[in-house]
A and B are shown apart, each in its own frame.
Chain A
Amino acid sequence: MKLPITINEHSGEPLYLQIESQLRTLILSGVILSGTMLPSIRELASQMKCSVITIKRVYSDLEAEGIIRTKQGTGTYVLELQEGSFVKQKEEALREAIDQFLTTAKQLNADKATLKKLFEEAIDSLN
């Protein structure tokens, strides 16, 4: 199984955080369904071109959050998520996306009024 995770090695954001936040979003958004078996630590490390040390950290963090579980000898699975749970994690994922938006805004010297206008337009177009 190949996970749709993209790494930006030049960004300066630690690798484990990049992989962790994208994998969390994939699971919480339902792109990866509960019960799915994730790649082994070694396999994912090879896909992401990182060391197993990084992936071990990602899996153990997500396991601590109650999103995935590793069963000895069988592999790592996505857990069943209750409706309305993980509000905090979902907010966290959104906040990360907003941070990225703000970084670009800062680089382009965009003013607050423009940002607000663009943001509201984007939200209105949601439905």
Chain B
Amino acid sequence: MDNAIELKDVTIERGLFKMGPINLNIPKGYITAIVGPNGSGKTSIFRSILKQTNITSGEINVLNERIDDAENKEISQRIGYLMENQSFFDDGLVAHEKADFHRRWYNNWNEHIYKNCLHKFGISDNIRFKNMSKGMRRKYDFTVALSHEPELLILDEPSSGLDPIAWRSMIEVLNAYMDQGERTILMATHIIDEVKRLADFIVFMVDGKLLGMYEKDELLQNWATYYVEVNPHTQAVIATLPGLLSQKNIGSDRIEFTTSEAVNADALLKDSNITILNRQVLELDEILLYHMNKTTNKIFG
């Protein structure tokens, strides 16, 4: 698999904030979502990829170009970025004045996409930014971020401030964007449903550290809680289960347990003739919580 972004042993240290070392490959042609609590370093990763923040050590490659100290205008032409918080310098501008700037700057600016996207969101570019609602501003910035047809789109909490209808439009626009050839999205989000609708790969990030990268369907299929019947050898079988995270007895004849390798557990339980009474896969936030608890346990012994 070709990578759109490669981070090799990247660290960032700024005062009390320490991130890394991060080793991360973002595959080309897919949508990767970074999931983690606030302050875990998602935005810092984005800013370092865009060269808006200097890394302390390590190496970053984006679209097969090394990101280093030299100014590289070429690469910025191929990336679209939606920041988490909108900047305030252009508050006094009328929206289309910002588009004018982008139109001049980006060689690939596509007026058709720009107009279509505005239409889809039902917004006009004849309004001053300071007079826009938060949602309207978000829709506008989103439109501008993808109107130069970037190969790589970096989205920091894209749906913050969007109502459910606008959110649906955003999902549709992003799906259509991905269908135009080999394109890549790297996004940070708190919204579970957004990960489910969009992501192919999930990266967990907590407290400046990566806790793992997974293919979404594999991840969501493999974390499950079971309720099983107790027979003479149930305890022994459960003790050998791969990825066992927790277990407890429910009354005298049932056991509840959670595993991160449900596919293997299914086979083992079947071979051992243990009846599964119930099987529930975990939600993404529950899986994240397990990852977080694992790191805190390491820190506190």
Interface positions of A (Cβ within 8 A of B): 9-12, 14-16, 40, 42-43, 45-46, 49-54
Contacts and interface: CB of A to CB of B under 8 A. Distances in A.
Given A10-B280, A12-B262, A50-B216, 11 more contacts: A12-B263, A12-B266, A12-B279, A14-B221, A16-B217, A43-B179, A45-B200, A49-B196, A51-B215, A51-B216, A54-B217
The dominant DSSP class at the B interface is helix
B220 interface: yes
A32 B216 CA distance: 28
Contacts, number: 46
Nearest to B216: A51
B211 interface: no
A11 B138 CA distance: 39
Contact of A46 (B175, B220, B280, B281): B175
B221 A15 contact: yes
Contact of B200 (A10, A12, A15, A53): A53
B126 to A, nearest CB: 32
| Residue with the greatest number of chain B CB neighbours at <10 A, chosen from A10, A14, A16, A51 | A51
Contacts of A11: 279
Contact of B215 (A14, A49, A53): A53
B250 interface: no
Interface residues of B, number: 23
A105 to B, nearest CB: 14
B195 to A, nearest CB: 9
B166 interface: no
Nearest to B269: A12
A46 B279 CA distance: 25
6 contacts: A9-B281, A12-B279, A16-B217, A46-B171, A53-B215, A53-B217
A9 B266 CA distance: 14
A10 B175 contact: no
B33 to A, nearest CB: 11
A2 to B, nearest CB: 12
A81 B286 CA distance: 45
B221 A42 contact: no
Contacts of B196: 49
Contacts of A42: 175, 178-179
Nearest to B220: A9
A42 B215 CA distance: 15
A115 B179 CA distance: 49
A10 B279 contact: yes
B217 A51 contact: yes
Contacts of A16: 217
Contacts of B216: 50-51
B197 A49 contact: yes
B175 A43 contact: yes
Contact of A51 (B175, B179, B201): B201
Contacts of A40: 175, 179
Contacts of A50: 216-217
